[in-house]
Structure 1
């Protein structure tokens, strides 16, 4: 079953997956759950805290929710306006649609930017939402002033050629994901997304959210991911890319440099796939550096 995730992460997105100990209602001193945003009739749950003309807009990854940004909301809400959203299909957002593609999710982010009338936006997207945030940056060039991606884009620009056999295997893997969702995801998370330093509490939290989410929507996200050309999108976005990645695996920036895409790579030491909850203080320090650089541009 590991072939499913090697295929998904190698060819399209890297995977990402409500805390029992840190529920979203505690995600900052004045962050309150709201649902007054809609994208084509689907409600988008969010928190909105802090005051500033610059807004940090946090977008979570696959099978998790906005509560994973709790520490960041509390920390950055003292200096900026901070908005964290539940993507439709996850957390407290609506599920009443059938399109779970990255383009659909990016339109959700567009709706948040427009309906909250956000002006100077720094987008922060974790894993699956790296592509989502990137597309939103392309769609909102006047509002978005910065783009930060978290533990994603490790081989951005590398071309993968799918054979007929690859496509057949992909369909089989998607079927396995639908039939044996918990086993497939748990095996992969334990083997690939957690590191030896990842605490038992973090593992329990993430696996709980994976197990209790809507598995049909989660599988549909994988099935509908399509082909997303990050290099071409980065060229269209015309903005510097900031990567905050764990250093346990290398990040190949060859194609970013070759395509003259400005970027800054910030490594966080010895974490798994969820650095914002594994080492929140270190993560916040790195994000602070990225924001400072963005504001000087």
Structure 2
């Protein structure tokens, strides 16, 4: 594995395969680039495939005093610049999709496609009032008992009783042992990121593709309101928040269909 430096932290990355098109995969909060291993194996025979551990995650460095989603977006931009990537299709999962949205707006020239995995389900929209107290309680509990609170959040919000136990356990363990100085501010920012979405979505220059897991509904109306480009929603049924782990074959076929659409300019 190789590394790049930005803002005091190393960024570990992996690059496999060759091709005129680069697929750049960005993982979600508290996980790491190995969540994309099935996709690296599937797509690297035909594409250049790049994955990375965002700082504070996986094998990347933790030497930062300020942690932000916007900073993760700059990390993605730095990887694109340092590796001189061209014809990049950004593929971001969960909070990683926020990072790729930051990158797509900040540095659009080498990018040709933008794909979101199970994120922006109510884009630009705050949580309903009845959930605000729960969010505030979560933030406070993360301060006093990060590990237990983070693990409980994973079980309650990100996986379901139908999620295969190895997947659910993997996610829960990664959440429990996430880096607290990074995790506390990032979780707080994700819940408030709708304000940033309102700023960035109208600036996006690429068709907005979503691969949605159906354990929670997707509301299209905010996309109609905030996007100035077209959008298209694809579905991977019967998984929770991690379709790339729970049903990798179906996910890969769906992602291939989306990539074909990007390359065909559809």
TM-score, normalised to structure 2, is 0.91
Matching of residue 203 in structure 1 with residue 175 in structure 2: no
How far apart, in 1, do the equivalents of 2:215 and 2:189 lie? 29
Matching of residue 185 in structure 1 with residue 153 in structure 2: no
How far apart, in 2, do the equivalents of 1:277 and 1:40 lie? 31
Matching of residue 230 in structure 1 with residue 203 in structure 2: no
State the partner residue of 1:242.
Answer: 209
- Cα drift, residue 171 of structure 1: 5.5
SS at match of 1:46: strand
Q: 1:271 to 1:175 in 2, by over 3 A?
A: same
CA contact (8 A) 1:100 1:224 kept: no
Q: 1:202 to 1:173 in 2, by over 3 A?
A: closer
SS at match of 2:229: coil
Matching of residue 267 in structure 1 with residue 232 in structure 2: no
- Cα drift, residue 294 of structure 1: 0.6
Matching of residue 144 in structure 1 with residue 111 in structure 2: yes
- Cα drift, residue 88 of structure 1: 0.2
CA contact (8 A) 2:154 2:175 kept: no
How far apart, in 1, do the equivalents of 2:125 and 2:176 lie? 32
Query: Which structure 1 segments of 5+ residues have no match?
Result: 1-32
TM-score, normalised to structure 1, is 0.82
How far apart, in 1, do the equivalents of 2:176 and 2:137 lie? 21
Matched residue count: 261
How far apart, in 2, do the equivalents of 1:155 and 1:148 lie? 16
SS at match of 2:160: coil
Residue number among 49, 56, 59 corresponding to 1:82 in the alignment: 49
Superposition map of 1:272-287 within 5 A: 272-287=240-255
State the partner residue of 1:5.
Answer: none
SS at match of 2:216: coil
Matching of residue 47 in structure 1 with residue 41 in structure 2: no
- Cα drift, residue 41 of structure 1: 3.2
State the partner residue of 2:180.
Answer: 215
State the partner residue of 1:68.
Answer: 35
CA contact (8 A) 2:209 2:232 kept: yes
SS at match of 1:122: strand
- Cα drift, residue 157 of structure 1: 3.1
CA contact (8 A) 2:138 2:149 kept: no
Judge which range, 119-128 or 231-240, deviates more. 231-240
CA contact (8 A) 1:244 1:266 kept: yes
What is the Cα-based RMSD across aligned positions, in Å? 2.1
Q: Deviations over 1:127-151 (max 9, x none)?
A: 1111110110011111111111111
How far apart, in 1, do the equivalents of 2:136 and 2:249 lie? 41
CA contact (8 A) 1:195 1:270 kept: no
- Cα drift, residue 169 of structure 1: 7.7
How far apart, in 1, do the equivalents of 2:158 and 2:138 lie? 19
Q: Deviations over 1:239-267 (max 9, x none)?
A: 11111111122111112224453111011
- Cα drift, residue 72 of structure 1: 0.3
SS at match of 1:229: helix
- Cα drift, residue 170 of structure 1: 5.6
- Cα drift, residue 179 of structure 1: 1.1
CA contact (8 A) 1:231 1:256 kept: no
Residue number among 159, 177, 181 corresponding to 1:194 in the alignment: 159
How far apart, in 1, do the equivalents of 2:163 and 2:128 lie? 34
How far apart, in 1, do the equivalents of 2:135 and 2:64 lie? 24
- Cα drift, residue 172 of structure 1: 5.2
Q: Deviations over 1:215-234 (max 9, x none)?
A: 23211212455544324312
